[in-house]
Chains A and B, each alone.
Chain A
Amino acid sequence: MTAVRIPPVLRASTAGLKHLQLEGATVREVIDRLVTVYPATAGQLHGPDGELNRFVNVFVNGTDVRHLQALDTPVTDRDEVVLLPAMAGG
Chain B
Amino acid sequence: MTTELLPTPVSTVDAGPGPRAASTGRVRGLVCRNCRRPAPLALAYVCEACFGPLEIDYDLDGISIDRSTIAARPPGIWRYLELLPVDAPPARGLAVGSTPLVAADRIGARLGIERLWVKDDTRNPSLSFKDRAVAVAAARAPSLGIDTLACASTGNLAGATAAGAAAAGLPAFVFVPASIEPAKIDHALAYGATVVPIDGTYDDVNRLCIEVADELGWGFVNVNLRPFYAEGSKTLAFEIAEGLGWRTPDVIVAPIASGAMFAKLAKGLRELVQVGLIEPRPVRFVGGQPAGCAPVATAWSTETEVEPVRAPDTIVHSLAIGSPADGRYALEVARSSGGSIEAIDDLATAQGIRDLAALEGIYAEPAGGVTLAAAAAARRRGVIRLGDEVVVLVTGNGLKAPDARSFGLETRPAEPDRPGLAPVIPPSFSAFERWLQR
Contacts and interface: CB of A to CB of B under 8 A. Distances in A.
Interface of A: 5, 7-9, 12, 43-45, 47, 53, 55-57, 59, 62, 64, 66-67, 82, 84-90
Contact of A90 (B16, B48, B53, B157): B157
Nearest to B204: A62
B48 A9 contact: yes
Contact of A64 (B14, B156, B308): B308
Contacts of A89: 206, 222, 226, 257-260, 321, 324-326
B130 A84 contact: no
Contacts of A66: 307-308, 323
B46 A87 contact: yes
A55 B326 CA distance: 11
A49 B141 CA distance: 38
Contacts of A53: 50-51
Nearest to B221: A90
Contacts of A82: 207, 211
Contact of B46 (A12, A64, A85): A85
Contacts of A88: 202-203, 206, 258, 321, 323-325
Contacts of A85: 45-46, 51, 53, 210
B42 to A, nearest CB: 12
A15 B75 CA distance: 50
Nearest to A16: B14
B318 interface: yes
Contacts of B47: 55
A23 B16 CA distance: 29
Contacts of A64: 203, 207, 308, 310, 323
5 contacts: A59-B207, A82-B211, A85-B45, A87-B325, A90-B130
B161 to A, nearest CB: 10
Interface of B: 12-14, 16, 34, 45-53, 130, 151-157, 202-204, 206-207, 210-211, 214, 222-223, 226, 257-260, 307-308, 310, 318, 321, 323-326
B49 A43 contact: yes
Given A88-B324, A89-B258, A90-B154, 13 more contacts: A7-B214, A53-B50, A57-B207, A64-B323, A84-B210, A85-B210, A86-B53, A86-B323, A89-B222, A89-B257, A89-B260, A90-B202, A90-B257
B34 A55 contact: yes
A55 B310 contact: no
A5 B208 CA distance: 13
Nearest to A83: B51
A44 B34 CA distance: 13
A4 to B, nearest CB: 14
B113 to A, nearest CB: 28
A56 B325 CA distance: 11
Contacts of B45: 85, 87
A45 B151 CA distance: 26
A6 to B, nearest CB: 10
A29 B307 CA distance: 23
Nearest to A7: B214
A88 B307 CA distance: 14
A68 B200 CA distance: 17
A55 B51 contact: yes
A64 B122 CA distance: 34
Given A8-B16, A64-B323, A66-B308, A86 B206 contact: no
A53 B49 CA distance: 11
Contacts of B13: 9, 12
Contacts of A90: 130, 151-157, 202, 222, 257-258, 318, 321
